[in-house]
Structure 1
Amino acid sequence: MTGAVFPLGHYAGARPTPAGDEQHVVRVGRRLHWLTADGFGVWVLAHGTAEVGKGMWPRAGIVALAAAADLPAAGIHVDDLLARGLLAHVPTGPGDRSVAIAFARTHRMHALCVGMGNSPDAPDLHAVGVPGIGITAMLDPDSYELWQWGGLAPTLWHSCEVRATVSTKLGDPLDAEGALDQILGDMRHLIAHNCVYLDVAAPAAVREPMA
């Protein structure tokens, strides 16, 4: 399976089940999903690592990281999470773009963390984190812009349209489809640092792109 895998949903904590054990709960849209410890571990690993940067995080990367963490049957858990809508596979690169575009039109970003100012030593970098705990990540201007404003966009596709419009007005012609790879790369960086999470978009927000 080529392309990138993105985790979906917001972690809602560990809760007791009617059977008396404890499982992890992840909310996607209005639905709560219950995960075993191993399934939850694979979902966490699907967020990627800081070393990935803006590169795509493929299925093979998740499985390899799970093996290093001694999580059994990682491939089976990946398939289960994909089937349940807790992971999304997004083809990248040239070729058929319809799946990636459909993903952008039907999903949205929610920001985590708060802004913590610029770096005195690197004014082009912007700190985000948790007050009282510390900085989560230092973001470049593109990633910071997406973190700052992407949560206001009804879908990722809206963010692509906005970036394309701004870029074109600044003299660098770009359309929404051309901005998609940039947005997905910035999103990968933000997810790996736990600065944002992805969710399904509200049905009313799903529409065709602007002309």
Structure 2
Amino acid sequence: MKTLLEYVVTYVTNVILLGIGVLFLYVGIRDNCWSGRLDVCFYLPTWMILVAVLIFIDRLIYWKHKFNGVIFEGKFPRPRSSIRNSNKEQIRQWQKDKQKRSSSKKLRTSSIVFRVILSLVTFGLTITALHVLIAAVHGKGAENPDPIIFSFYFGLLTLFVYFCMLIKYFYNFCMSRVKKSKSTTPAPMPNP
């Protein structure tokens, strides 16, 4: 059973990521000037649009996984448990079935790979924006620093959110491995 805190964290994470995606898309389209100059400032708005599209695709994959879980719960309701008749084994089996059927292994793996790619692209955007920002401070920069500042700060925020999601994924992965190792009985030691 999810706690209220988990729902709040999920909601806040989605709002932040979708807000950043919309902001990147807006600033990228607004400041995308096809002037023909091939400097870093020219590519930054296009890069922002790419990151926004990748964030939207990531959220679509995430919500596809969640909706598959809801559909599974609609078809196969959770077994009831009572204090007298504890059917913990049925509930565990139901949770395993839900995990298997609500999300294919391919969808989960593609989600992880996609988040790593998105993090790398966002990291590249943030480093490039930092490079352009430093060049602007030294007098060789852009005339309009708004997209540079937006892409740098919101790129850092996006990296932070995805880093926290990565830590949560590894924590869940390690905890599932610990649970599996506790549930399996160790092999007896051979007699000498």
TM-score of the superposition, structure 2-length normalised?
A: 0.23
Larger-Rg structure: 2
More strand as a share of residues: 1
More helix as a share of residues: 2
TM-score of the superposition, structure 1-length normalised?
A: 0.22
